[in-house]
Amino acid sequence: MGSREAEAEALATPEYWNERYSQSDGEHPTHEWFKSYDQLQPFLTNHLFNVRNPRDQPTILHLGAGDSVGTCGLKEVMQPLLSDHGH
């Protein structure tokens, strides 16, 4: 079994997540399991911010949960754009 398959299987176990979250020390958070907002920002800029005009009132679904900070990053970028257009 390749490392990707092994990693995918590990993600399905409570032990993996218990171990991961037990390593958080406050300075090195473990809540972003996929990518941080800063890592996703170039993709979001190209595929969301540059192609969706705030005047069109785009609907954005953020699938994060718990203590993910991705929503904060989206709000920081989108709120000024929406405010500029009376939303």
**Residue among 20, 47, 48 nearest 34 (CA):** 20
Q: Beta-carbon neighbour count of residue 74 at 10 Å?
A: 19
Query: CA dist 26 to 18, 22, 71, Å?
Result: 16, 11, 19
**Residue among 63, 61, 54 nearest 86 (CA):** 54
In tens digits, the chain (87 residues) has pLDDT values of: 568 888 889 888 999 888 877 877 767 666 666 777 888 889 888 888 788 766 677 777 666 666 677 777 777 877 776 665 554
pTM of the model: 0.49
